[in-house]
Structure 1
Amino acid sequence: MFMDIQTFLESCIGQWFSQRSSYQFDTEKAESHKSELTVEWLNTDHSLLVSLCQEHRIDPNQAIGGQQVSWNSSVDYGQKKQTGSATMIIIPDSNTPKIGKIIQSFKSNPSSQGKYSLGEDEALNLTLEVGDFLMEERIWFASPNLRLRTSLMKGENGYSRTAFYSEIRRLPPQEVA
């Protein structure tokens, strides 16, 4: 059975251990990082969702909800600790809900609007303009507890950064009888 956008987003909720490998084209520098991710669901009446929709002149009732993603890289030994959060709001097309708009906001930057599509392969594709850059991201599940992502950042001089993420869901401990 084909996964819909609501089911896909709900599958992302939880705590994840993330490993990222990235490459900067301009400096020819490869890096790898580890972090803890927490993905939380935002209902359509959440104040942040309502505020972002209003900022982009979109009726909040058109959204199906959103996600608040926070990260903490303190698990990355020897690296400078980084924390932050981002919010993504999903507004499906009323005729074809596997495509639609997204609003994304990073805590320190103005929010941006983009597009999403959920493919027949159950991979979510995001396209977002962030300042002078175009960001393309693809997210899919290899299994219910293993999420994979790729991202490309493209500027006026071509691609500037690429990254691959593997994310393992943190499961709660088993109860002992």
Structure 2
Amino acid sequence: MSEPANFPPATIEAFLRFCEGEWMSLRSRFLLGAQAEAGEGDEWHSSERGELVVRYIDGEPGGLSVGPKDQPPRQLLFAADGSFSAGDQQGRWTLWPDGSLELVSEHNGTELRERIWFNKPNLRLRSTIEQPADGLPGRASFSSEIRRVSKPAAAA
């Protein structure tokens, strides 16, 4: 099966539109550095499954409404100048030549860096790294997300 002609998405608007759908997610979270050392046993990591709903928001270039199924979504609004906002959080976005989208924001002196990319049209990967102002490693997560696709209607 061949990839769609517009894969991976080459513009921020195309990338945001491509994110729309219902996704089954498996996220692994990790505590790094001193946080990991302070815990006992396997507390330094956890994994969770979830359902994620992503909707495209019209605009220039657009935005995303993102949230777990059955919970209020969070809105991320993107501007053509490379900035984005999510409620009171502001940041910068970069769509890299490899087709990945990087979001960088800072809150209370902690930098949050998230990268989202598509391995295949229905397989999206995300990595997140939280870096406290003291420069020590903080938290990280990795998610693999599979788009739910509806089954074709049965032939009558």
**1 CA distance for matches of 2:20 and 2:117?**
14
Structure 2 partner of 1:119: 96
From 61, 64, 69, the counterpart of 1:67:
64
**Distance change in 2, residues 1:89/1:124 (3 Å):** same
Q: Report how far residue 131 of structure 1 moved.
A: 2.8
User: Corresponding residue for 1:160?
Assistant: 138
| Secondary structure of the structure 1 residue equivalent to 2:99 | coil
When the two chains are superposed, the root-mean-square deviation of aligned CA atoms in Å is 1.7
Aligned to 1:36: 51
> Which TM-score applies when normalising by structure 1?
0.73
The answer as to whether partners of 2:16 and 2:62 remain within 8 angstroms in 1 is no
| CA–CA distance in structure 1, aligned partners of residues 105 and 72 of structure 2 | 19
Structure 1: tracts of 5 or more residues without a match: 45-62, 75-82, 94-99, 106-110
**How far, CA to CA, are the matches of 1:117 and 1:132 in structure 2?**
21
CA distance in 1 between counterparts of 2:95 and 2:30 reads 26
Separation in 1 of the partners of 2:18 and 2:77? 16
The amino acid across from 2:127 in the alignment is T
Q: What SS class does the counterpart of residue 148 from structure 1 fall into?
A: strand
| Aligned equivalent of 1:27 | 35
Q: 1:149 aligns to what? A: 126
For residue 27 of structure 1, give the secondary structure of its aligned residue in structure 2.
Answer: helix
Distance 1:132 1:84, change over 3 A: farther
Q: Residue 14 of structure 2 aligns with which residue?
A: 7
TM-score after normalising by structure 2: 0.82
- Within 2, Cα distance between the matches of 1:65 and 1:131? 27
Q: State how far apart, in whole Å, the 1-side matches of 2:142 and 2:154 are.
A: 37
In the alignment, the residues of structure 2 paired with residue 162 and residue 130 of structure 1 have an alpha-carbon distance, to the nearest angstrom, of 16
Instruction: Supply the AA of the counterpart residue of 1:67.
Output: L
Equivalence for 2:76: 88
Q: Deviations over 1:19-54 (max 9, x none)?
A: 01111124321010111000011123xxxxxxxxxx
CA distance in 1, matches of 2:145, 2:128: 14
Q: Which runs of 5+ in 2 are unaligned?
A: 1-5, 37-43
Seen in structure 2, the aligned counterparts of structure 1 residues 27 and 84 have a Cα distance that, compared at 3 Å, is farther
* Cα distance in 2 between the residues matched to 1:65 and 1:15: 18
For residue 129 of structure 1, what is the amino acid of its counterpart?
Answer: E
SS of residue matched to 2:73:
strand
Q: Which residue identity does 2:35 align to in structure 1? A: T
Quote how far apart the aligned CAs of 1:159 are: 2.3
